[in-house]
């Protein structure tokens, strides 16, 4: 039990005992009957009505017990014996023999209660005074500790995370290995006049392993590790954040050499002067204290600061200058080899079936980060347990990958025959266009089973990791994304709202091609429009137009030309290969799902075309109504490439 709770419980118990003793003492002092005069007592003894008389230990108080069971109280001179007093009032010695007279002993409970009647009230007031003092001290301690750092310290006796637990980040581990070597052998660097970086900033997308890498550095170095989040510095009270920063660095200096890890440092490290109204708010005061502590007068301590963020663009420049965060280590999304290594780490201790090939799984998961891979293996293990398997097979891992990408299957959503046919041709349109165009990724799966928010999806995975995107690649991807709508118009003469997500992504990519990537021959290699962003809020609030209205009209015209050209390309491909479109759609309506091998067989051999059931005669489209999205998240276009 906590010592504080035990102490408080003892105080409460003492108070209750004291109150009970006071009540008992008052009760014991309350007379049972009216007080009897000594003369009347003598008359009662002469009449033979008294059975017993008890003389109190002080010789003054008398307790009279009558023959009928009643009691009375009386008093006498404490210096005279009771027998002499009664004889003086006319009681004969023979009459006294009928009355039992005894003296009360001093060890009786009455003496104890009498003492407690004045001792316990004193203890009661002393206990209340002591309790009030302790409460006041506790309040003061809480007020003082409010400005203390909330960092959690991990020492070497805890289970360690080492570089062997971090896979796929070879360059980052090489950069941080120097930090570990300095913490282990600082004299090696000091003798050469070298200065170790004071701060290391880990930059990467969410889930790439920034926190894990910081723990691995601490585990390799075997030094104390302080961990705190950037949001834990700032409170509603002014000055608390700066006080916690000072306390954190004081603790770190006492335990040096050590590592201080600040997760999500952008919570306190944003640009100064970017608050609402440009005021000097609590975050800026906290940031100023961090800047002073990282590069103040006391620079001889072996304390290394490691911070993690996925928004380095909003950090204050003073935080990134040499002398504070000297190094910026980028933790990028892992490539094919890195994903395979990460899969090897996360399958440790898990039973795998003989058909599991981690290299093939890594090829099926482009763009996955470490958190996605860990989630994939966990989902596969859950699926295997649900199916009562003794090991994790390739089928469970494939299903887990699709769950991570597009969400779980929704087999309870039953489509009508007409809707199922529409979805089948929609997804077949995507698949056929992707197969026929040379710059599209290979189709690995086509299904009309609802998953996530989509009623069906086409999964096209790249064979290799790609870091640059070409214009011809974008043009074919646009046609692939519009293949579903083109198939609906070609087969049914009508279109549905299932292409809403496709149209949104196509329009955005086409506009980026014109305004960001300079892929318009008419407008040339220029960037149009600057994004406005409130650093304090951390999001874009609009676009600043740095071009004229005539240029805006040309941008709209170019976007329309690119989208229309891609749509016409998709229509031409599907018109030329309509037999394959109908074969794939017919097979989808029967089997609901096609894997890569079956789809390739249909595209190479083909099947007799099945005449489709027209929902309506061909007619021009005038309006799109709201309806569920048929395309699903699998039709998402590849992310915009970073500038080379």
> Distance between CA atoms of 410 and 422, rounded to whole angstroms?
18
Query: How would you list the strands of the sheet with 303-309, edge to edge?
Result: 152-154, 225-229, 258-263, 303-309, 199-204, 325-331
R_g over Cα of the chain: 44
Distances (CA, A) of 450 to 456, 485, 637: 5, 18, 20
Q: What is the number of other CB atoms lying within 10 angstroms of the CB of residue 481? A: 29
Q: Cβ neighbours of residue 223 under 8 Å, at least 6 residues apart?
A: 156, 183, 257, 258, 259
Task: State both tokens at 100.
Answer: 């039992």
Q: Nearest Cα to 289, choosing from 318, 332, 257, 263? A: 318
Q: What are phi and psi of 80, to 5 degrees?
A: -110, 135
Residue identified by tokens 């009897």 is 36
Paired with 202 in beta bridges are 308, 329
Cβ atoms of 71 and 64 closer than 8 Å: yes
Q: Verify whether residue 427 is a known catalytic residue.
A: yes
For residue 249, the Cα-to-chain-centroid distance in whole angstroms is 26
Q: Where are the beta strands (DSSP E) in 483-566?
A: 530-534, 539-544
Strand 593-595 with 443-447, pairing: antiparallel
Q: What secondary structure letter does DSSP report for 524?
A: -
Q: What secondary structure letter does DSSP report for 636?
A: P
Angle subtended at Cα 64 by Cα 58 and Cα 69, rounded to the nearest 5 degrees = 145
Cβ atoms of 317 and 268 closer than 8 Å: no
Residue identified by tokens 């596969």 is 380
Residue from 427, 488, 558, 582 carrying the catalytic annotation: 427
State whether residue 540 is helix, strand or coil. strand
> Distance between CA atoms of 212 and 334, rounded to whole angstroms?
15
Residues with active-site annotation = 427
């Amino acid at each position: 039990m906590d010592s504080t709770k035990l102490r408080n419980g003892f105080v409460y118990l003492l108070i209750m005992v004291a109150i009970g003793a006071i009540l008992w003492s008052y009760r014991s002092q309350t007379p049972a009957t009216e007080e009897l005069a000594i003369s009347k007592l003598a008359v009662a003894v002469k009449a033979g009505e008294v059975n017993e008389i008890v003389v109190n230990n002080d010789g003054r108080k008398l307790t009279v017990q009558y023959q009928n069971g009643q009691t009375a109280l009386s008093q006498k001179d404490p210096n005279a014996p009771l027998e002499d007093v009664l004889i003086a009032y006319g009681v004969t010695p023979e009459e006294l023999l009928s009355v039992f007279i005894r003296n009360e002993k001093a060890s009786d409970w009455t003496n104890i209660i009498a003492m407690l009647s004045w001792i316990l009230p004193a203890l009661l007031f002393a206990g209340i005074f002591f309790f009030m003092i302790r409460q006041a001290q506790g309040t003061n301690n809480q007020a003082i500790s409010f400005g203390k750092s909330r960092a959690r310290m991990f020492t070497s006796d805890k289970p360690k995370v080492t570089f062997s637990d971090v896979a796929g980040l070879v360059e980052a581990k090489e950069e941080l290995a120097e930090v570990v070597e300095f913490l282990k052998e600082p004299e090696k660097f000091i003798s050469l006049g070298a200065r170790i970086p004071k701060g290391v900033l880990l930059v990467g997308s969410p889930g790439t392993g920034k926190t894990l890498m910081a723990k691995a550095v601490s585990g390799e170095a075997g030094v104390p590790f302080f961990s705190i989040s950037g949001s834990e510095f700032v409170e509603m009270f002014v000055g608390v954040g700066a006080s916690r920063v000072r306390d954190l660095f004081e603790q770190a200096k006492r335990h040096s050499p050590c590592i201080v890890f600040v997760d999500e440092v952008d919570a306190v490290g944003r640009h100064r002067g970017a608050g609402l109204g440009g005021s000097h708010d609590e975050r800026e005061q906290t940031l100023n204290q961090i800047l002073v502590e990282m590069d103040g007068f006391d620079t001889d301590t072996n304390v290394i600061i490691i911070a993690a963020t996925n928004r380095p663009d909003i950090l204050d420049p003073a935080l990134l200058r040499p002398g504070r965060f000297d190094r910026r280590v980028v933790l990028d999304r892992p490539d094919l080899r890195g994903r395979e290594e990460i899969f090897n780490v996360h399958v440790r201790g898990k039973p795998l079936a003989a058909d599991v090939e981690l290299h093939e799984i890594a090829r099926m998961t482009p763009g996955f980060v470490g958190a996605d891979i860990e989630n994939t293996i966990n989902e596969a293990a859950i699926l295997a347990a649900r199916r009562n398997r003794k090991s994790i097979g390739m089928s469970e891992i494939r299903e887990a990958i699709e769950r991570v990408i597009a969400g779980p299957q929704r087999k309870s959503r039953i489509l009508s025959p007409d809707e199922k046919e529409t979805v089948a041709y929609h997804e077949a349109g995507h698949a056929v266009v992707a197969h026929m165009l040379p710059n599209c990724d290979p189709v690995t799966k086509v299904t009309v089973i609802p998953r996530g928010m989509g009623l069906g999806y086409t999964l096209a995975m790249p064979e290799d990791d790609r870091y640059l995107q070409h214009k011809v690649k974008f043009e074919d991807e646009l046609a692939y994304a519009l293949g579903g709508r083109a198939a609906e118009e070609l087969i049914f003469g009508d279109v549905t709202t299932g292409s809403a997500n496709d149209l949104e992504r196509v329009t955005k990519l086409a506009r980026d091609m014109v305004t960001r990537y300079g892929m318009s021959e008419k407008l040339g290699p220029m960037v149009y429009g600057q994004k406005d962003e409130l650093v304090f809020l951390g999001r874009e609030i609009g676009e600043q137009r740095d071009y004229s209205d005539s240029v805006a009209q040309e941008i709209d015209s170019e976007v329309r030309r690119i989208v229309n050209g891609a749509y016409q390309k998709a229509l031409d491909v599907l018109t030329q290969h309509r037999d394959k479109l109908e074969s794939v759609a017919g097979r989808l309506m029967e089997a609901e799902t096609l894997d890569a091998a079956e789809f390739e067989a249909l595209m190479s051999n083909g099947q007799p075309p099945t005449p489709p059931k027209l929902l309506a005669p061909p007619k021009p489209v005038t309006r799109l109504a709201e309806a569920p999205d048929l395309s699903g998240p699998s039709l998402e276009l590849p992310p915009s490439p970073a500038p080379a």
